[in-house]
Amino acid sequence: MNAPPRISALQRTQFVTSGILSAEDVEALEAITSAPRSLRAGVDLVSEDLRTDNIHLLTEGWACRYKSTRSGYRQITGLIIAGDVCNLDSLMLPQVNFGVRTLTAATAIGMPRDRVQALAAERPGVARVFTWLAIAENVVLSELALSLGRQSARERVAHFLCEIAARLGGRGASTSDFELPFTQEQIADVLGLTAVHVNRTLKQLREEGLIVVTNRRIHVPDMAELSRVGEFDGSYLHAVPAQGG
């Protein structure tokens, strides 16, 4: 009666890690999921203002959502790491108003919008997980707005590093060590700064001993201290979906 054992590409995605879906829900989603595609760095999965009929999921690597100004400035509105949905908006909008671009080599899978919608209509769990994903994205986005609007460059960079550390899994650890495969220009595009100023700010944090940078890795000897500088409180990232009535 059991399906043949195989590694599901969905296992490490938010669909499963959210704990909302039943095994049957996961299987149903699995059935409409395309095979993994490998992507180079710097490739657009979704283009600004273009129609897409697929929901993409990143299973390996890094990507980002971004928006551009007519004058050519860019704002990254969200980092996408392995397990994240790339373009949730496409579930409801025929046309998204942001782009999705890989920052490193990456792997992605996809699901047709129509099929997902059909599944959501018949499976409350599937509907629920998408609402949850949208809300979780919202939480991160409003935290970004606070950072962009009301934090200094120093605070923003510290906050950013804390967020990455937290999302990469280190929860509550007093120290942290992770890969940060971004150029300073990309960091600048997340934080609403210039690459030059990100450089100077990172230098300052280095000189204060708050971070140690080697190659493209970051070591944080004291997460509590860095969190204090960035006014970071990771609880917003680890929220658990409320159980229904």
- Interface with DNA (CB under 7 A): 152-154, 182-185, 192-197, 199-203, 213
Select the binding partner of residue 202 from a copy of itself, DNA, none (C-beta < 5 to 8 A, by kind).
DNA
The closest of 99, 105, 109 to 40, measured between CA atoms, is 105
Binding of a copy of itself by 196 (CB under 8 A): no
Contact call for residue 224 and a copy of itself (CB under 8 A): no
CB closer to a copy of itself out of 105 and 118: 118
The two most distant CA atoms of the chain are separated, in Å, by: 61
CA distance 31 to 71: 43
Which stretch of DSSP H or E encloses residue 29?
helix 23-31
Q: List beta partners, residue 67.
A: 75
- How many whole angstroms separate alpha carbon 215 and alpha carbon 173? 22
Spatial neighbors of 27 by CB under 8 A, at least 6 apart, are: 3
Minimum distance of DNA from residue 101's CB (angstroms): 13
Nearer to DNA, 137 or 189 (CB): 189
Which parts of the chain are beta strand (E)? 37-39, 44-46, 54-60, 62-68, 74-81, 99-102, 106-112, 176-179, 212-214, 217-220
Asked if residue 214 binds a copy of itself (CB under 8 A), the reply is no
113 near a copy of itself, rule: CB under 8 A: yes
**Residue 92 touching a copy of itself (CB under 8 A):** yes
Contact segment (CB under 8 A) with a copy of itself among 167-175, 205-213, 217-225, 228-236 equals: 228-236
Which of 12, 115, 154, 197 forms a contact with a copy of itself (CB under 8 A)? Answer: 115
Stretch that binds a copy of itself, among 62-70, 100-108, 198-206, 209-217 (CB under 8 A): 62-70
Q: Does 97 bind a copy of itself (CB under 8 A)?
A: yes
User: Does residue 171 belong to the site contacting a copy of itself (CB under 8 A)?
Assistant: no
**Whose structure tokens read 């080697």?**
214
Residue 228: beta bridge partners? none
Residues 6+ apart with CB under 8 A from 111: 29, 32, 33, 34, 54, 55, 57
Task: Summarize as ranges the residues that interact with a copy of itself (CB under 8 A).
Answer: 65, 67, 69-71, 73-75, 77-78, 88-89, 91-95, 97-98, 112-115, 117-118, 120-122, 124, 127-128, 130-132, 134-139, 141-146, 148-151, 191-192, 231, 235-236, 239-242, 244-245
